[in-house]
């Protein structure tokens, strides 16, 4: 009896959590920009004042998308350290440490599809449903995260992999810009 109740409770919890988040694709790797394996490396070109930990949110979010598409550098699966070095060698930064979104197309796996200002929930959901990586500018334009799903009960809440914070959802009302990538 107790077992049956427990199972029922578990089933309800599982059903609720499945119903709540729509994450159409199963494998979105998480990288943290302050991971000691690369966090202290200089972000971008010589003379950049920042480390990957300090300012690598856009590059780290992009790396998650690249890893999703099984991108490699020198035959190894990518991480923020190897992508940063690759971008430095291939003119992938502007103003020393601002990633040039389109530069990663040189890695052969994905390219910029579109860049949108303050998109609607239905537009963002459409890209997520089709498996596009959606990089979002959040926190008053101070941070970038990778959108990977959405909350079907609160359509404005976009589920993310956040390279710095433990935040798992952002309200689209605070998303000023999105960079949508497509498989190359
Ligand atoms: C990445 O590689 C894995 C293992 O080979 C494969 O299952 C997965 O479908 C690949 N991902 C993409 C987006 O092609
Ligand atoms: C998202 O932000 C809008 C506008 O500020 C607000 O009306 C809405 O309640 C927020 N949604 C959630 C789920 O917090």
Show pLDDT as tens, one digit a residue, over the chain (184 residues).
Answer: 455 544 444 444 444 455 566 666 567 999 999 999 999 999 999 999 999 999 999 999 999 999 999 999 999 999 999 999 999 999 999 999 999 999 999 999 999 999 999 999 999 999 999 999 999 999 999 999 999 999 888 899 999 999 999 999 999 999 999 999 999 9
Question: In Å, what is the CA distance from 55 to each residue of 34, 76, 98, 172?
Answer: 10, 24, 9, 22
Report which ligand 2 atom has the smallest distance to the Cα of 154. 13
Cα(140) to centroid(ligand 2), Å: 15
- Regarding pTM above 0.85, the answer is yes
CA distance 146 to 169: 10
Q: Whose CA is nearest to atom 5 of ligand 2?
A: 173
Kindly list the structural domains of the chain, giving each domain's residue range(s) and its CATH number in brackets, ordered by start.
23-183 (3.90.70.10)
Which ligand has the nearest atom to the CA of 109? Answer: 1
């Amino acid at each position: 009896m107790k077992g049956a109740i427990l199972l029922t409770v578990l089933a309800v919890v599982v059903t609720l959590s499945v119903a709540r988040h729509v994450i159409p694709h199963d494998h979105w790797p998480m990288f943290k920009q302050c991971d000691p394996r690369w966090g202290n490396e200089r972000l971008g070109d010589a003379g950049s004042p920042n480390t990957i930990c300090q300012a690598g949110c856009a590059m780290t979010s992009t790396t998650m998308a690249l890893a999703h598409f099984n991108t490699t550098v020198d035959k190894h699966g990518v991480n923020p350290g190897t992508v940063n070095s690759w971008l430095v060698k291939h003119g992938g930064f502007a103003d020393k440490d601002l990633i040039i979104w389109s530069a990663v197309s040189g890695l052969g796996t994905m390219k910029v599809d579109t860049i949108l200002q303050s998109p609607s929930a239905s537009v963002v959901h459409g890209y997520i449903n089709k498996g596009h990586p959606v990089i979002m500018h959040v926190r008053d334009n101070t941070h970038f995260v990778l959108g990977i799903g959405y909350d079907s009960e609160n359509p404005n809440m976009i589920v993310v992999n956040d390279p710095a914070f433990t935040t798992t959802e952002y309200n689209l009302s605070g998303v000023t810009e999105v960079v949508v990538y497509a498989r190359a």
